[in-house]
């Protein structure tokens, strides 16, 4: 069977990275979490003092882009690819609420999106790739053989996100998570640069009531139809 490109888009905390990682492992494909790339850029800018809840300098973010080095390396312990920022594993650091509160604003900057999209296309041009994000099927790989758009009930997403953060040792309230998810949905769908939307030919996967195994089986059946 020929290798295809699989684009997975959807709302935050819908389990895009979980499905994409499982799908990549099942098919023997590479997996790229593009959301982690935008989070890593956000973390870098925070560490440099360029952005914070009180200030946001677009010009300074743009000036930093050539200095930022992003890579993915497979972790045997985690069983997935993890992101490295300037040679350092930041997979856990980028999941904080502080990063989450700013990442949508950073990803809305035109120059940031152009830089990341070019890098993503370079990573995925050989096929045999599962890539997830907000604009993979609409902007990065509009001709991907399989496009999946993920969604879930907002209350389900809130509980999943809270559990994910607590598992990583990050203690947050349900209200904090709810406010963050609602704001990110608004930012992602209303931004001018590559807003989150379902591609016309994407298949919708609502996993509100699906188990991890069930959603993988469904996605695998779609992938095999297109190979």
H helix or E strand, kind and range, residue 46: helix 34-47
Global pTM reads: 0.81
DSSP string, 97-160: HHHHHHHHHHHTSHHHHHHHHHHHHHHHTTS-EEEEESSIIIII-TT-SEEEEEE--HHHHHHH
CA distance 218 to 8: 13
CA distance 216 to 171: 29
pLDDT of residue 1: 58
pLDDT of residue 171: 85
Residue stretches of the chain with pLDDT short of 50: none
pLDDT of residue 106: 96
Going 176 to 180 to 183 to 186, the CA torsion angle's sign is negative
Token pair for 46: 């925070």
Strand-strand pairing, 80-85 and 70-75: antiparallel
pLDDT in tens, 36-45: 999 999 999 9
- Per the structure, the count of domains in the chain is 1
For residues 141 and 9, the answer to whether their CB atoms sit within 8 Å is: no
pLDDT of residue 78: 74
What residues make up the domain containing 68? 5-226
* CATH number of the CATH domain containing 105: 3.40.50.300
For residues 34 and 112, the answer to whether their CB atoms sit within 8 Å is: no
């Amino acid at each position: 069977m020929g290798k295809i490109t699989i684009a997975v888009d959807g709302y935050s905390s819908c389990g895009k990275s979980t499905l994409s990682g499982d799908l990549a492992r099942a098919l023997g494909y590479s997996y790229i979490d593009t959301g982690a790339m935008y989070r890593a850029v956000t973390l870098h800018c925070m560490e440099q003092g360029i952005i914070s809840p009180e200030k946001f300098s677009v010009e300074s973010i743009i000036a930093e882009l050539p200095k930022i080095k992003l890579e993915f390396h497979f972790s045997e312990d985690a069983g997935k690819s993890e992101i490295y920022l300037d040679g350092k594993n930041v997979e856990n650091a980028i999941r904080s609420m502080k990063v989450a509160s700013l990442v949508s604003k950073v990803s809305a900057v035109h120059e940031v999106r152009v830089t990341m999209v070019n890098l993503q296309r370079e990573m995925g041009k050989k096929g045999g790739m599962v890539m997830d994000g907000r604009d993979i099927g609409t902007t990065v790989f509009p001709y991907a053989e399989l496009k999946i758009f993920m969604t879930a009930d907002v209350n389900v997403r809130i509980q999943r996100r809270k559990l994910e953060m607590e598992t990583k040792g990050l203690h947050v309230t349900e209200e904090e998570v709810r406010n963050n998810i609602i704001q990110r949905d608004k930012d992602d769908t209303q931004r001018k640069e590559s807003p989150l939307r379902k591609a016309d030919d994407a298949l919708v996967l609502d996993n509100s009531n699906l188990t991890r195994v069930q959603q993988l089986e469904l996605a695998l059946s779609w992938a095999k139809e297109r190979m």
